[in-house]
Amino acid sequence: MFRKLLVAAGVAGLALAATPASATTTATTVTCGPSALQSGLSTKVCAEVTGDQVQLYGQVSLPGPGPQSKELIVNLSGGIVGGASLGSVQGYRNFNSATIQVRGVGGTVPCGSTVHASFSVASYPWANTPVTLDLPIAC
């Protein structure tokens, strides 16, 4: 009985090994808008696209050498142009010279749509000046 079970398991394993792996893996592409200074820091907004899935993020980094610490008010938002919102994230983040990313906005986007993303950073005494990205989703 045990021998029959081993033979059956071996045949099942060969059948699985002979089946080719799915060739439908979709690459992720990252597209970023232009960088701009906000509150004395370099900022940009980016989109990671995998098929019809889009994840947006904002990034804050030092524009040059030298340590800098600031408490930031951040706002990341995105939506489909002429359509639904992909959400928004607002809050406080501490910046201590290391690059930070603000994430949490995204979702499924119909092929052929355009995604609009906006990222702003404010820190006293500077007001925000959002960086934006408009990205067509080709799928």
24-46 residue pLDDT tens: 678 999 999 999 999 989 999 99
Candidates 139, 132, 138; CA nearest to 79 is 132
SS3 44: strand
CA 69 to the chain's CA centroid: 25
Q: Is residue 6, in this structure, part of any structural domain at all?
A: no
Asked whether 133 and 45 are in contact (CB, 8 A), the reply is: yes
* Number of domains the chain is built from: 1
Of all helices (H) and strands (E), which one includes residue 29? Answer: strand 28-32
Q: What is the pTM of this model?
A: 0.79
CA 91 to the chain's CA centroid: 18
**Which CATH number goes with the domain that contains 127?**
2.60.40.10
**Distance, CA of 104 to CA of 111 (rounded, Å):** 21
State which residues form the domain around 76: 26-136
What parts of the chain have a pLDDT lower than 70? 1-24
Q: Is residue 82, in this structure, part of any structural domain at all?
A: yes
